[in-house]
Structure 1
Amino acid sequence: MTQPTWDAVDAYFSEQLIGHDPVLEAAAAAADAAGLPHIAVAPNQGKLLHLLALTAGARRILEVGTLGGYSAIWLGRALPADGTLITLELDPVHAEVARGNLARAGLQQVAEVRVGRAADSLAALVADGAEPFDLVFIDADKPGNPEYFARALELTRPGSLIVVDNVVRGGAVADAASTDPVITATRRLHELIAAEPRVTATSVQTVGSKGYDGFTLARVQG
């Protein structure tokens, strides 16, 4: 199988199960116009996040890594009118693009973009005694994932879901000899998860328009 095949399959399922969505398409166009990197989740992956949030009955969602707000729109749409989405972004330019996209999506009342280092923003949430989040989506700088996951555990409750994106890295995660900081951090993340009695988790490999990668899904047990 090749990338053109993966692209075609993604396009087919997106057409059948998602269809034309002017708000999401405008968000992607705004991100492109602002020169943001093309690393947002694919439409079918965004829909998966949306369905997970709906299934969990999420009222509070935390996202680590906003980019242009594409995934935040999918997550925010799963919230009730009195729900809360806090999304963390390092780059002020990315954050402004995301705020505009979230406003055009009608989510400005439930979504808040916080700018700064994710580690600092997460520490502040913990220090402030933030109400637990029902779902946490981690999709920021990969070397930070072990710390982000540890903080997510402090900010969730039994029954909460934690999703960590981009954990397969084209299969490189299986290379125990790798010195790539992204790979070593990803392996350390999974060692932490495996040793953590408060969660049960699995990882899923994916192929599609974003290439060969995957995600880890963890449920907080107690």
Structure 2
Amino acid sequence: MEHVWGKVDEYITDKLIPKDDVLEQTLTHNKQAGLPEIDVSPAQGKMLYLLAKTKNAKRILEIGTLGGYSTIWLARALEEDGELITLEAVSHHVQIAQQNISRAGLSERVSILEGKALDTLSQLKEKAALPFDFIFIDADKPNNPKYLKWALDFSKKGTVIIADNVVRNGAVLHDSDEDERVQGTREFFDLLKQEPRIEATAIQTVGEKGYDGFVYGIVK
């Protein structure tokens, strides 16, 4: 079935996502630089773009930059005077992302904060950063529960919070799975269930990235 999923993604991309040299060069640059090929797919990137655009987002927070592929999609959805802050722990990834974002002509809208996300989130809090309209969580999965708590701290009524990789090929079902990424995802779901400040659902996804899913939430 995964072969079919990939072919359907190619079909969707061909029909609905116009050829984009900047985005294609970003993926090529990431691969040449040795970054892991764990970016969202083009169809998923377009979905993030449309969700942020629907929200008329002026301030976006992204937790987990990698090479900036999803960053570019999201930054393109910003209002004209908008701002995106993205957090990345790995220096090499930051360097590649900066090059990609510059090539996309988005350097004035995007700020990359280098360091462990839990540290940079704390620094943002100390600076009394304004709330965000849209938050995308796509970093190290064991810390997802902590990222959700921070995301809620940086939210206001109506803020959209999206998290990637929440199904993990179905492994999220198994409480005995020793993979810390699975355990972090399960704790993330438990927190969502208990947290009165957000209402959320999850969508399972299949495609060129395999079998996974997104959480979609709106802050009350």
Fold equivalence (TM over 0.5): yes
Please name the residue that 2:34 is paired with.
Answer: 35
Structure-2 residue corresponding to 1:187: 186
| Matched residue SS, 2:157 | strand
Quote the offset at 1:55 in angstroms: 0.7
> What secondary structure does 2:214 align onto?
strand
| TM-score normalised per structure 2 | 0.98
Distance in 1 between residues matched to 2:99 and 2:216, nearest whole Å = 29
Letter in 2 for 1:142: K
Amino acid at match of 1:202: T
Counterpart of 1:146? 145
Deviations 1:24-55 (A, max 9, x none): 00111110111100000000000010011011
Cα distance in 1 between the residues matched to 2:194 and 2:11: 39
**Which amino acid is the alignment partner of residue 100 of structure 1?**
Q
State the shift of 1:182 in Å: 1.1
The CA deviation at 1:185 is 1.0
Q: 1: CA distance between counterparts of 2:175 and 2:20? A: 42
Cα deviation 1:6-29 (Å, max 9, x = unaligned): 010000001100021101001111
C-alpha displacement of 1:207: 0.4
Question: How big is the shift at 1:60?
Answer: 0.2
| CA displacement at 1:215 relative to structure 2 | 0.8
Kindly provide the CA deviation profile for residues 168-207 of structure 1, in whole angstroms up to 9, marking residues without a partner as x. Answer: 0000001122222111111111111111111000011100
What SS does the aligned partner of 1:88 have? strand
Tell me, in whole angstroms, the C-alpha distance in 1 between the residues paired with 2:53 and 2:114: 26
Structure 1: distance between partners of 2:45 and 2:203: 15
Task: Select between 109-118 and 122-131 the one with higher mean Cα deviation.
Answer: 122-131
Q: Partner of 1:159: helix, strand, or coil?
A: coil
DSSP-derived class of the 2:57 partner: coil
Report what 1:112 is aligned to.
111
Kindly indicate whether residue 133 of structure 2 is the aligned counterpart of residue 134 of structure 1.
Answer: yes
What amino acid sits opposite 1:84 in the alignment? E
Shift of the alpha carbon at 1:123? 1.0
Counterpart CA distance in 2 for 1:102 and 1:51 is: 19
Amino acid at match of 2:163: V
Partner of 1:48: 47
1:206 corresponds in structure 2 to: 205
| DSSP-derived class of the 2:187 partner | helix
Q: Does 1:164 align with 2:163?
A: yes
Aligned to 2:219: 220
| Structure 2 gap ranges (5+) | none
Give the C-alpha shift of residue 124 in structure 1.
1.1
Instruction: Please list the CA deviations of residues 60-101 of structure 1 after superposition, one character each: whole Å capped at 9, or x if unmatched.
Output: 000000000000000000012211000000111111111111
Runs (4+) off by over 3 Å: none
Aligned residue identity for 2:216: L
Partner-residue secondary structure (3-state), 1:133: coil
Deviations 1:90-128 (A, max 9, x none): 111111111111111110110011100000011111121
Q: Is the 8 A contact 1:81 1:110 kept in 2?
A: no
Distance 2:118 2:105 in 1: 28
2: CA distance, partners of 1:195 / 1:6:
34
The answer to whether the aligner puts 1:21 opposite 2:20 as a matched pair is yes
Q: Does residue 69 of structure 1 match 2:68?
A: yes
2-structure distance, mates of 1:96, 1:179: 33
Aligned residues: 220
Q: TM-score, normalised by structure 1?
A: 0.98
